Amino acid sequence: MNKKLIVIAVASALCAPLVASAQGTGVTLFGRVQAEYQSTKIDQATSASDHRQESISDNGGLSRWGLKIKEDLGNGLNAIAQVEFGFRTGTGTAEAAREQWVGLSSKSWGTAKFGRVQSPYKDFAGGGTLDVFGSTTLQARGSGGALYAPGNGFGAATHVDHAIRYDSPDFSGFSAAVLLVPDDATQTEGGSGGNVGGRGGSSNYQIGLKYKFGKSGEIFGGYSQDDASDAQAAVITNGLNGDDEQVWRIGAKWKFGDFTIAGQYDSIDNALAGNGGTSCSGGASATGNESASTAQCNTSLNANGDGDIWFLTAHYQLGKTTLVLQGGQTNADEVRTADGVLRAGEREAKNITLGAIYKFSKRTLVYGGYQKVSVDGARSVVNTNAGNAGTVAATAALAIQPDRDTWTIGMRHVF
């Protein structure tokens, strides 16, 4: 009995500071943990044999934990905040920053957030809201012909630093979300690093609009602009200087009983080098200690070139099981210099995914499926494996037209 009393006393002493610090404020611990076994085979045009890599990990980067904070300020106004970190099961990857912001919310005028946020293209107008296999190896983001995924966050990948985001309330089915990054937010000269705000990058914003038809469906659209920083504009890639990247989007989602269909179309002008949309950014991959990387490079456009991407998904609810069929296509236009010299050829990447999700409960599920990627036109997978000295190996082309097959089965728990 005495031992039990001692344990209770110690526990109470430890918890007391936490309770006191949260007086008048609601603090919620949340998170997700996911692991999957996946097998990826890449057809290597430069090798006599195919390359295959298998892993047990969380290559889609879904695993995360964080705190949601809310305080009632009266008159319908709330102070809100979120601190969130991601990690990858099976690989020992250190924590990575995700959403980290503070803001105000009201049912009458909407929500304003300040800090590191997600873009409307990711969680409001299409993007990650459509892909039921989001953040798995079967995800559409970056996986060969579906969902634009630039590392600047103005798409369906990563997060946006130095940002202000406003989400309006619902007005008879209509709503809007606006993202703005202040002029010259970082004053850095670099054009890479996967985000916006470098010196000279003055207009960085995104607008998403949506209309909901009750519970039946929605239509959405938007416009996104990421101005080239001084450093990006000075660099010549494919014979052209970097220019302001613009993305137009339109899409819809509709539900018929247990059947749901959704899709979107993106038109991209001047894909900006250094923002991830012209490289491997955004795709789930198994990039362990293999000599060749299986990073997805297929939803990429030619640097300083134009292109378009469409995505279509359909799923059917059968009891606790969701059957999924989805895919898409990326069309990267050719790039020519001002005098007509061809510097980058056109490329077409197609994606088809088939799978299923089974829910044990509202918090626990298992999933599995198959994905096929086909690429027409030259596209290289590069060696991103770190050498013994900890430096990135030379970016030698390991595969041209890297068609791939991926199988996966995984488990997820939400808390």
Which of the four pLDDT bands, split at 50, 70 and 90, describes residue 347? confident
What pLDDT score was predicted for residue 394?
39
What residue ranges define each of the domains in the chain, with the CATH number in brackets?
A: 27-414 (2.40.160.10)
The CA distance from 408 to 84, in Å, is: 27
Which of the four pLDDT bands, split at 50, 70 and 90, describes residue 281? low
Which of the four pLDDT bands, split at 50, 70 and 90, describes residue 180? very high
What pLDDT score was predicted for residue 242?
87
Higher pLDDT, 339 or 290: 339
What pLDDT score was predicted for residue 3?
52
H or E stretch at 123: helix 120-123
- Which of 130-144, 209-223, 350-364 comes out lowest in average pLDDT? 130-144
Q: Is residue 296 within 8 Å of residue 42, measured between CB atoms?
A: no
pLDDT digits (tens, 9 = 90+) for 192-212: 444 676 777 777 999 999 999
- Which of 53-62, 158-167, 296-305 comes out lowest in average pLDDT? 296-305
What pLDDT score was predicted for residue 404?
84
Average pLDDT over residues 41-49: 64
- Which of 45-54, 130-139, 248-257, 342-351 comes out lowest in average pLDDT? 45-54
Higher pLDDT, 123 or 145: 123
What pLDDT score was predicted for residue 74?
93
The closest of 271, 407, 406 to 347, measured between CA atoms, is: 271
pLDDT at 23 over 70: no
Average pLDDT over residues 207-224: 96
Average pLDDT over residues 171-183: 94
What pLDDT score was predicted for residue 98?
94
Best mean pLDDT range from 135-149, 226-240, 258-272: 258-272
The CA distance from 317 to 233, in Å, is: 49
What pLDDT score was predicted for residue 210?
98
The closest of 100, 139, 335, 107 to 239, measured between CA atoms, is: 335
What pLDDT score was predicted for residue 61?
85
DSSP 3-state percent helix, strand, coil across the chain (nearest 5): 10, 50, 40
- Which of 19-33, 196-210, 233-247, 356-370 comes out lowest in average pLDDT? 19-33
pTM of the full structure:
0.86
Higher pLDDT, 210 or 290: 210
pLDDT at 230 over 60: yes
pLDDT at 385 over 90: no
Instruction: Give the 3-state secondary structure of residue 227.
Output: coil
Determine whether 313 is exposed, middle or buried from the number of CB atoms within 10 Å of its CB (0-12, 13-18, 19+). Answer: buried
Average pLDDT over residues 76-99: 90
Average pLDDT over residues 95-116: 95
pLDDT at 16 over 60: no
Q: What are phi and psi of 151, to 5 degrees?
A: -70, -10
Q: Kindly report the average pLDDT of the chain as a whole number.
A: 83
Higher pLDDT, 112 or 274: 112
Q: What b/e string do you get for 271-294 counting C-beta neighbours within 10 Å, with b at 16 or more?
A: bbbbbbbbbbbbbbbbbeeeebbb
What pLDDT score was predicted for residue 294?
57
What pLDDT score was predicted for residue 85?
95
Percent of the chain topping pLDDT 90:
50
What pLDDT score was predicted for residue 282?
62
Contacts of residue 203, defined as CB under 8 A and 6 or more positions apart, other chains included, come to 183, 225, 227, 244
The closest of 335, 323, 321, 332 to 369, measured between CA atoms, is: 323
- Which of 138-147, 256-265, 328-337 comes out lowest in average pLDDT? 138-147
What pLDDT score was predicted for residue 233?
85
pLDDT digits (tens, 9 = 90+) for 330-344: 999 999 988 888 888
